[in-house]
Structure 1
Amino acid sequence: MSRRTEIDVRPITEAEFPDWNRALNTGFLQPPAVAEEQLEARRRQFVPGRSLGAFDGDRCVATFRSFDQELTAVGGGTVRADAVSNVTVTATHRRRGLLTRMMAQDLAAAKERGDVVATLIAAEYPIYGRYGFGPATTMTEWAVDVPRAGLDRRWAAPEDGGRIDLVDGEDVRGLGPGLHGWLRREQPGAVSRTELWWQARTGVVNMNGTPWTEPYYAMYRSADGGVEGLASYRTDDHWGDAKQPLNTATVEWLIGVTPAAERALWHYLCSIDWVQTVKSGWRSPDDLLPHLLPDPRAARITTQADWLWVRILDVARALTARTYEGQGSAVLEVVDRAGLTGGRWRLEAGPDGASCVPTTESAHLVLDVAELGALWLGDASAVRLAALGRVREERAGAARVVDALLRTSRRPWCPDMF
């Protein structure tokens, strides 16, 4: 019987970058060969020490990348995040602890840097809870049956005196970052976007190696001339019998920083000649979209699933970085098997601020750090988690107290995949 060779897990070098990308493509079931244009674009994401590889001899068999990110907490403050991405293990090398080794290295480095949380978008649900990540936001996609929606197909302009204009990629690169910054100040769960993000979505760089075709970009200006919304969308060319149009408009992303902007952009998309279906792209589960239509049932949910996962790296800083609508206190015993941020903490919180300090008092609620990650942005319910056996009340009613403190009136949402 042949002996397995020792697998070396380490930060990759520039020379190893092509092989690392081949392993990355293989893990995500993409063609293994990486086009030079794609490789050059991905090099712009390369940060020494933040891209890890597992090597069997000189062949890369697992990949892992992290990068600096800002995450918006409840109330609009931001925290430093260690964003985890590009996680793969080649099928020939599964069940050897490679992800565990890469994750341990990365989270330890993030803790040392002073990051408050780590984040990721989980391709598979069962993997990341064991590393202390909890599902903190939900993503919903709708398909709007345009004829059923009840909008007047003679719609020509927003009813509020604003206007919709089609713009180009250069306009988007100029206006988009400011609009996204405005959104991010208001939206818990939103994450920062780099200049590369905007370039990749306007054709300046090609990250996926497929031929670029420009989408449509729609911009909303309010009656006073201010730009308050942008959307990127694509259309197909599908016709049925008797020359009946069956076209679909698929939204790639949509930013509306005011309700008026959201209303105008969705109404515009549902008024385009020949378009019978509008696919919303990734939206918040309590998005306004269905109720901006005369018949909300015209918007059918096609996807709803966990989205942004959060791993708390510093309990005290995380809980004091966000705001609280109610007043109260709780003693939380946080279990962290990795030893990064566990312990017993007294949270005192109210509209004027919060404190979170270590304590020797008896715990009111005992929970894993993954469950704290799920609760932190205000979407999950401690009462539901207690019913599921995932948190434990040491004082009767503690879960309700924690819900009253942590839950939010609007659900958190992360508009991005990373």
Structure 2
Amino acid sequence: MTRRTDIDVRPVTEAELPAWDRALNTGFLQAPTSPDEVLRARRRLFVPGRLLGAFDGDRCVATFRSFDQEVTAVGGTPVPSDAISNVTVSPTHRRRGLLTRMMAQDLAAAKERGDVVATLIAAEYPIYGRYGFGPATTMAEWTVDVPRAGLDPRWAGPEDGGRIDLVDGEEVRKLGPELFERLRLAQPGAVSKPPAWWQARTGELRFESPWTEPFFAVYRTAGGEVEGMTAYTADDRWGDAKQPLNTASVKWLIGATPAADRALWRYLCSIDWVTTVKSGWRAPDDLLPHFLPDPRAAHITSQADWLWVRILDVVRALEARTYEAAGSLVLEVADAAGLTGGRWRLEAAAGGKGSCTATTESAELVLDVRDLATLWLGDESAVRLAALGRVREERAGAAREADALLRTSRRPWCPDMF
């Protein structure tokens, strides 16, 4: 077995991309060798210093990628983030500290750049808490039993005078970014979509081979304004009596208004031959069931933690968001990595803005940086975390006061996998 000190963790060069890609595929249990078009796509997105690899001799045995991102804080402020993805360790090199070394190197660089938080989508729950990440949003997938929904099969158009149009990938790339910005800046937990996101979802960049083009539908208001868009695929399943039993699977759905969401979901439930609609990743308090005459026709088939956050700057993170009420609280934040621990006074004004300053006053609420991350977007309760022993009250009632400040009326949601 190679000693840990003999394994080199370093930024990957462009020439090393095929070796890095092979290790990535190995870690994700995919065919080791990628098609040329996938490697071409990776080269187009290559940013020196943002791909890390662990090398045992000439062989890449662990992978790590980060990229610039913004995540929307409560109140709508975009916060600079270090988005982490493509994390693998080959099965031959587990338990040698390779992820710890790559994570420490990346988070230190992110802190130096001035990123406020780091983000990721965790494939496995137990891994990332030890690096200071906490689950900050939840995802739900809904399945709609279309025949039970109670929709009028004779009418499929929007009820508000708007219209649904089918478009191609080029039109999506033209209309999508501006539309998504409207949703992103209103949705705590949403993350920015770089141009490559739109290129990959419309086939201009291909990280999947073969690539299957989805259907794209756009919702326009009666005045012609684009307020919603979705991409979906459909299977080809028929019953024994020659009845259609097809499922429409939503890849993504962007609605800038509830009216747009309603129009798109009703459109999807009105497509001929479709008897089931799968929603893709939605907020756990999504309005989808209540757009249907019978809300019981939609049920949650999967629900789990989704966006994980690692706070790199407590002051900037807490001052970036707004607050539900006026109040004051002294927080003591532990950070084993030494990136942002300390004692802070959070002051929230009646108008929603907050200030955060270092203090020597006695702590009222003591918590780890991973638990502050879980509370930051307003989805979790400090009272619940105190009951679990993850938050400690030094003053009775401090957890309840934290909830009054931090929790939000609608739950945060991250629409994307990255």
**Residue pair 2:4, 2:96 contacting (<8 A) in 1 also:** no
Shift of residue 352, structure 1, vs aligned partner = 4.6
Q: Deviation per CA, 1:119-151, whole angstroms, max 9, x where unpaired?
A: 000000000000000000000000100001111
Shift of residue 185, structure 1, vs aligned partner = 0.9
Question: Structure 1 residues 7 and 192 mapped into 2: Cα distance closer, same or farther (>3 Å)?
Answer: same
Q: Deviation per CA, 1:171-214, whole angstroms, max 9, x where unpaired?
A: 10000000101101100001111111101111112112x12222
1:415 alignment partner in structure 2: 415
Amino acid at match of 1:150: G
Query: Structure 1 unaligned runs (5+)?
Result: none
Q: Which piece of structure 1 moves more, 351-360 or 263-272? A: 351-360
Question: Structure 1 residues 169 and 122 mapped into 2: Cα distance closer, same or farther (>3 Å)?
Answer: same
Question: Structure 1 residues 289 and 384 mapped into 2: Cα distance closer, same or farther (>3 Å)?
Answer: same
Amino acid at match of 1:94: R
Query: Structure 2 unaligned runs (5+)?
Result: none
TM-score if structure 1 supplies the norm length?
0.98
Question: Structure 1 residues 46 and 2 mapped into 2: Cα distance closer, same or farther (>3 Å)?
Answer: closer
Question: Structure 1 residues 184 and 329 mapped into 2: Cα distance closer, same or farther (>3 Å)?
Answer: same
**Residue pair 2:231, 2:253 contacting (<8 A) in 1 also:** yes
**Residue pair 2:2, 2:56 contacting (<8 A) in 1 also:** no
Other structure's SS at 1:243 match: coil
2:307 alignment partner in structure 1: 308
1:145 alignment partner in structure 2: 145
Q: Deviation per CA, 1:36-79, whole angstroms, max 9, x where unpaired?
A: 11001011221111111001111100000101001100010011
Q: Which piece of structure 1 moves more, 234-243 or 3-12? A: 3-12
2:212 alignment partner in structure 1: 213
Other structure's SS at 2:156 match: coil
Question: Structure 1 residues 115 and 3 mapped into 2: Cα distance closer, same or farther (>3 Å)?
Answer: closer
Question: Structure 1 residues 403 and 214 mapped into 2: Cα distance closer, same or farther (>3 Å)?
Answer: same
Cα distance in structure 2, aligned partners of 1:113 and 1:376: 21
TM-score if structure 2 supplies the norm length?
0.98
Cα distance in structure 2, aligned partners of 1:6 and 1:220: 57
How many residue pairs match? The answer is 417
Amino acid at match of 2:36: E
Q: Deviation per CA, 1:15-40, whole angstroms, max 9, x where unpaired?
A: 11110000000000010011111001
1:172 alignment partner in structure 2: 172
Establish whether residue 368 from structure 1 lines up as the match of residue 401 from structure 2: no
**Residue pair 2:27, 2:88 contacting (<8 A) in 1 also:** yes
Other structure's SS at 1:282 match: strand
1:8 alignment partner in structure 2: 8
Cα distance in structure 2, aligned partners of 1:374 and 1:153: 43
Instruction: Write out aligned runs for 1:231-380 (5 A).
Output: 231-350=230-349, 351-380=351-380
1:119 alignment partner in structure 2: 119
2:104 alignment partner in structure 1: 104
Cα distance in structure 1, aligned partners of 2:167 and 2:37: 26
Cα distance in structure 2, aligned partners of 1:2 and 1:292: 58
**Residue pair 1:70, 1:192 contacting (<8 A) in 2 also:** yes
Cα distance in structure 2, aligned partners of 1:159 and 1:2: 66
**Residue pair 2:138, 2:307 contacting (<8 A) in 1 also:** yes
Shift of residue 6, structure 1, vs aligned partner = 1.2
Amino acid at match of 1:66: S
Q: Deviation per CA, 1:353-377, whole angstroms, max 9, x where unpaired?
A: 2110000001010000000000000
**Residue pair 1:154, 1:271 contacting (<8 A) in 2 also:** no
**Residue pair 1:377, 1:406 contacting (<8 A) in 2 also:** yes
Instruction: Write out aligned runs for 1:189-208 (5 A).
Output: 189-208=189-208
Q: Which piece of structure 1 moves more, 265-274 or 151-160? A: 151-160
Amino acid at match of 2:75: G
Question: Structure 1 residues 417 and 2 mapped into 2: Cα distance closer, same or farther (>3 Å)?
Answer: closer
Shift of residue 224, structure 1, vs aligned partner = 1.2
Amino acid at match of 2:336: R
Q: Deviation per CA, 1:275-324, whole angstroms, max 9, x where unpaired?
A: 00000000000111011111111111111000000000000000000011
Amino acid at match of 1:156: A
Amino acid at match of 1:193: K
Amino acid at match of 1:225: G
Other structure's SS at 2:185 match: helix
Question: Structure 1 residues 4 and 67 mapped into 2: Cα distance closer, same or farther (>3 Å)?
Answer: closer
1:158 alignment partner in structure 2: 158
Q: Deviation per CA, 1:355-409, whole angstroms, max 9, x where unpaired?
A: 1000000101000000000000000110000000011010001000001000000
Other structure's SS at 2:45 match: coil
Amino acid at match of 1:191: V
Other structure's SS at 2:21 match: helix
Cα distance in structure 1, aligned partners of 2:276 and 2:155: 16
**Residue pair 1:5, 1:56 contacting (<8 A) in 2 also:** no
Other structure's SS at 1:118 match: strand
Shift of residue 2, structure 1, vs aligned partner = 8.0
**Residue pair 2:247, 2:274 contacting (<8 A) in 1 also:** yes
Amino acid at match of 2:285: D
Establish whether residue 89 from structure 1 lines up as the match of residue 86 from structure 2: no
**Residue pair 2:23, 2:61 contacting (<8 A) in 1 also:** yes
**Residue pair 2:324, 2:352 contacting (<8 A) in 1 also:** no
Shift of residue 160, structure 1, vs aligned partner = 0.7
